[in-house]
Structure 1
Amino acid sequence: MGKFRYSAALLWLTLLISIAPVSASAAPVVIKAQTVNASITFDGINLQPPSGQYIFIYNNSTYVPLRFISYALQKSVSWDAKNVKVTVAEPNSRELTAIKEYLMNTSNLKTSTGITKTVALQRVNASYIFNGSVKSIPQGLSSYILNGTLYVPLRFLSEAAGTSLKWDQKTKSITAFTSAYKAQNPDVTTSSNEDSTSGSKTEPSTPSPAPSAQAGAGASGSGAVSKPTYEQITSETEAKLTSLQSQAKSVLMGLAMEYLNAKDDKAKAAILSKGEQQLSSFTSSFNSIISDAESKLKANGYDTAIIDQYRSAFESQVNSGLELVKGMKG
Structure 2
Amino acid sequence: MYLYFMGLFCYFMVFLYIKISLGGINMFRKMKLWCASTMLLLGAVSPVYAEQTPTPIEVYYAPLQFVIDNDVFAPHADQKGFIYEGSTYVPLRFISYSLKKAVRWDGDSYTVTVEEPSATDLVSINDYNVNTKIHSGVSKQPADTSSLNSTQIEAYKEKVNYIFDGNSKEIGADLPGFIYEGSLYVPLRFFSESVGKKIEWDAKTYTVSAKTQEAPKTEVEPAKPDTTVTTPVVTGGGGGGGGRGGSSSGGSSNPAAEAQIEGKLLALENSCRAELQAIVDKYDSKAIDGKTAIEEVKSMSAGCRSRFDAIISEGVSLNISDSVLKGYKSQFEQMQTDAYMLLLNKYGK
Please give the TM-score of this superposition, normalised by the length of structure 2: 0.45
Q: TM-score, normalised by structure 1?
A: 0.47
Instruction: Report which of the two structures shows the higher radius of gyration computed on alpha carbons.
Output: 2
Higher RCO (C-alpha 8 Å, min separation 6): 1
